[in-house]
Amino acid sequence: MDFPTALIAAFLPLFVAINIPGILPIYIGMTETFTPIQRRQLLIRALAAAAVLAVLMLFAGEVIFSTLGITLNDLRVGGGLILLVIAVTDLAFGDLKKRRGGRNGDALEDLEPEDEDLPIVPLGIPLIVGPGAITTILLAEGEYGWGPTLLSILINLTLVFVAFTFGPTILRYLGKDTSKAVAKVASLFLAAISVAMIHAGIDGMIGA
């Protein structure tokens, strides 16, 4: 298989696994009170964390998993639990956190201590690069080699950067009420995604 064909074959499954249209509303909902500068800083850190994990899994994923004695199903359950806690917290206490976090309720002057890890968990991991993306990377490396797989990772993360950079701007033109509605719906979908991850992990454990 020539390189361009291998690149396309490695790119498409990873694009589906990352699911930019699915995670974009979640990102917008989590950062609706952030200033553009804060959002850009958060996005860069999230992508850096996602890139480090993706490349690490590409070159050492199987060794790490076997050394730690964990499986992808363990990762699904653990990541799902983290996302579920975040989603439920945002749905139940999101408005309270926004009133407490902002100086005037409209924008955060600085990230709160509880939000310092937000770029890494859950945005970088496991929303951008989660169990599905990790599985896809491991399979693509075995099938097409590290070259096409590495390039497909870089292209997909670039697409995430573009979508996450311009998505909030587009939504802002639709109005504040629309932004709030999207944020709540996104949290609901995040809860559903987390339950699906936990369900898939448990099914995999039982099936194994």
| Residue range(s) defining the domain that contains residue 72 | 3-207
- The model's pLDDT over 44-65, given as tens digits with 9 standing for 90+, comes to 999 999 999 999 999 998 888 8
| Sign for the pseudo-dihedral over CA of 93, 97, 100, 106 | negative
- What torsion do the CA atoms of 35, 37, 40, 45 make, to the nearest 10 degrees? -100
Q: Exposed, middle or buried by CB within 10 Å (0-12, 13-18, 19+), for 177?
A: exposed
Q: pTM for this one?
A: 0.73
> How is residue 91 written in tokens?
């749905």
- The model's pLDDT over 84-94, given as tens digits with 9 standing for 90+, comes to 887 788 777 76
- The model's pLDDT over 104-151, given as tens digits with 9 standing for 90+, comes to 444 334 445 445 677 888 889 988 998 888 988 988 888 899 999 999
Report the half-sphere exposure of 147 (CA within 13 A, side-chain side): 6
Distances (CA, A) of 181 to 49, 94, 125, 175, 176: 28, 12, 24, 10, 9
Return d(Cα 166, Cα 161) in angstroms, integer: 9
Band the pLDDT of 157: cuts 50, 70, 90.
very high
Check whether 72 has a pLDDT greater than 90: no
Domain count for the chain, please give it.
1
